[in-house]
A and B are shown apart, each in its own frame.
Chain A
Amino acid sequence: MPTHFSRPTLSRRTFLRGAGIALSLPLLDAMRPIFGAAARAAEAPTAAPRRMLAIETNMGLIADNFFPKETGLDWTPSPYLQIIQQHRKDFTLFSGTSHPAVDGGHAAELAFLTAAAHPGAGGFKNSISLDQFAAEQIGARTRIPSLTILVGSENRHSLSFTRSGVMIPAEKSAAAIYRRMFVQGTPQEVEARVNDLREGRSVLDFVNDSAKQMQRDLGPRDRERLDQYFTSVRDLEGQLVGAEAWEHRPKPKVSMPEPKDITENDLLVQRLQQMFAVLRLALETDSTRLITLFINPFSMVPKIDGVTHETHSITHHGNRPETLHELALIEAAHFQTLDELLTGLKAAKEDNETLLDRTQVLFGSCMGNANAHDNHNLPVLIAGGGYKHGQHLGFDHKQNYPLPNLFVSMLQRMGLETDKFASSTGTMRGLEVA
Chain B
Amino acid sequence: MRSRLAGILSGLAIVASLAAAEVPKTTRDFVENHCADCHDADTKKGGLDLDAFLAAPLDEKTFSKWVRLHDLVSDGEMPPKKKSQPTAEERTAFLQEVTGSLVTNELARRAANGRSTFRRLNRTEYENTLRDLFDLPGLAVRDMLPEDGRADGYDKVAAGLDLSHVQLEKYLEAANKALDAAIATQPERPPLFKDRLYPGDQYMIKIALTGGDGVCLKDLQYDPSVFPEPLAGKSDRGLRELEQSKLFPYRGSVGLFRHDDDAFHADFARFAPIQAGFYRVRVSVWSFLWDKGQVLPSPTTQVASLNASDRGVLGYFDAPSLQPTEHEMVVWLNRGEHLVFNCASLVPRRVGEEKGRAAQATTPGIAIDWLDVEGPLFDSWPAPAHQRLFGDLPLTQFDKKSGIKPPVRIPQGQHAPANLPNYKLDYPNQPIWTATSSAPEQDAEKLLRDFLPRAFRHPVGDEEVARYVGLVRSRLASKITFEEAMRTAYQAALCSPDFLFLHEPRGPLEDHALASRLSYFLWGSLPDAELTKLADAGRLHAPATLRAQAERMLNDPKATRFVTDFTDQWLDLREMDLTSPDKKLYPEFHPILRDAMPAETRAFFRELLVHNLPVRDVVHADFAMLNQRLAELYGIPGVSGCEVRRVALPKGTERGGLLTQASVLKVTANGTTTSPVKRGAWVMRKILGQPPQPPPPLVPAVEPDISGVTTIRAQLEKHRSDPVCAGCHAKIDPAGLALESYDVIGGWRERYRSVEKGDKAEVPVGARNISFKLGPAVDPSGKLPDGRAFANIDELERLLLANERQLARNLAGQLLTYATGAAPSFADRTEVERLLDTTQKSSYGVHDLVLAVVQSALFTNK
- Report the minimal beta-carbon distance from B409 to chain A, rounded to whole angstroms: 10
B691 in the interface (beta carbon within 8 A): no
**Which residues of the partner chain A approach B336 to less than 8 Å between Cβ atoms?**
7-8, 10
Shortest Cβ distance from A303 into B: residue: B240
A89 in the interface (beta carbon within 8 A): no
Which of B122-130, B294-302, B496-504, B654-662 sits within the interface? B496-504
Beta-carbon contact of B492 and A226 below 8 Å? no
A85 in the interface (beta carbon within 8 A): no
Beta-carbon contact of A219 and B114 below 8 Å? yes
Beta-carbon contact of B118 and A225 below 8 Å? yes
Beta-carbon contact of A236 and B415 below 8 Å? no
Separation of A125 and B207 alpha carbons in the complex (Å): 31
Residue of A3, A211, A213, A222 touching B113 (CB-CB under 8 A): A222
Separation of A225 and B120 alpha carbons in the complex (Å): 9
Size bin of chain A's contact surface: 35 or more
Separation of A199 and B546 alpha carbons in the complex (Å): 44
> Given the known A-B contacts A5-B270, A166-B146, A222-B113, are A214 and B241 also in contact in the complex, defined by CB atoms under 8 Å?
no
B169 in the interface (beta carbon within 8 A): yes
A374 in the interface (beta carbon within 8 A): no
State which residues 277-312 of B face A: CB under 8 Å.
Answer: 309
Separation of A192 and B207 alpha carbons in the complex (Å): 46
**Which residues of the partner chain B approach A75 to less than 8 Å between Cβ atoms?**
none
State which residues 58-98 of A face B: CB under 8 Å.
Answer: none
Separation of A5 and B118 alpha carbons in the complex (Å): 46
Beta-carbon contact of A106 and B263 below 8 Å? yes
Residue of B147, B172, B237, B416 touching A14 (CB-CB under 8 A): B172
Separation of A206 and B405 alpha carbons in the complex (Å): 23
Beta-carbon contact of B238 and A308 below 8 Å? yes
Beta-carbon contact of A228 and B162 below 8 Å? yes
Separation of A9 and B492 alpha carbons in the complex (Å): 24
Beta-carbon contact of A211 and B241 below 8 Å? no
Beta-carbon contact of B410 and A226 below 8 Å? no
**Which residues of the partner chain A approach B237 to less than 8 Å between Cβ atoms?**
308
Beta-carbon contact of B112 and A232 below 8 Å? no
Beta-carbon contact of A3 and B309 below 8 Å? yes
State which residues 564-584 of B face A: CB under 8 Å.
Answer: 574-580
Beta-carbon contact of A225 and B166 below 8 Å? no
Beta-carbon contact of B165 and A226 below 8 Å? no
A217 in the interface (beta carbon within 8 A): yes
Beta-carbon contact of B158 and A12 below 8 Å? no
B39 in the interface (beta carbon within 8 A): no
- Report the minimal beta-carbon distance from B141 to chain A, rounded to whole angstroms: 11
Separation of A276 and B781 alpha carbons in the complex (Å): 68
Beta-carbon contact of B505 and A16 below 8 Å? no
Residue of B112, B240, B408, B416 touching A12 (CB-CB under 8 A): B408
B771 in the interface (beta carbon within 8 A): no
**Which residues of the partner chain B approach A225 to less than 8 Å between Cβ atoms?**
117-120, 158, 163, 501
Residue of B163, B337, B577 touching A122 (CB-CB under 8 A): B577
State which residues 286-333 of A face B: CB under 8 Å.
Answer: 298-299, 301, 308-310, 312-313, 316, 318, 320, 322
A105 in the interface (beta carbon within 8 A): yes
B478 in the interface (beta carbon within 8 A): yes
Beta-carbon contact of A229 and B165 below 8 Å? no
Separation of A236 and B163 alpha carbons in the complex (Å): 12
Separation of A163 and B165 alpha carbons in the complex (Å): 12
B429 in the interface (beta carbon within 8 A): no
Beta-carbon contact of B118 and A228 below 8 Å? no
A218 in the interface (beta carbon within 8 A): yes
> Given the known A-B contacts A221-B113, A222-B117, are A207 and B164 also in contact in the complex, defined by CB atoms under 8 Å?
no
A121 in the interface (beta carbon within 8 A): yes
Which of B20-28, B173-181, B384-392, B718-726 sits within the interface? B173-181
Beta-carbon contact of B577 and A10 below 8 Å? no
Separation of A7 and B415 alpha carbons in the complex (Å): 8
Residue of B337, B415, B471 touching A6 (CB-CB under 8 A): B415
Beta-carbon contact of A8 and B164 below 8 Å? no
Shortest Cβ distance from A106 into B: residue: B262
Interface centre among A200, A206, A211, A221 (most CB of B within 10 A): A206
B782 in the interface (beta carbon within 8 A): no
Beta-carbon contact of A210 and B238 below 8 Å? no
Known: A122-B577, A221-B118. 4 other contacts (CB 8 A): A23-B166, A219-B112, A225-B120, A299-B203
**Interchain Cβ contacts under 8 Å between A and B, 18 examples:** A3-B267, A5-B416, A12-B176, A12-B410, A104-B262, A105-B263, A199-B475, A207-B492, A207-B496, A214-B501, A219-B112, A222-B117, A225-B163, A226-B501, A308-B238, A309-B238, A313-B239, A320-B235
Complex A-B, nearest 4 residue pairs according to Cβ-Cβ distance, in ascending order: A122-B577, A309-B238, A222-B118, A5-B415
Q: Which A residues have a C-beta under 8 Å from some C-beta of B?
A: 1-10, 12-14, 16, 23-24, 104-107, 120-123, 125, 162-166, 192, 195, 199-200, 202-203, 206-207, 209-211, 213-214, 217-223, 225-226, 228-229, 231-233, 235-236, 239, 298-299, 301, 308-310, 312-313, 316, 318, 320, 322
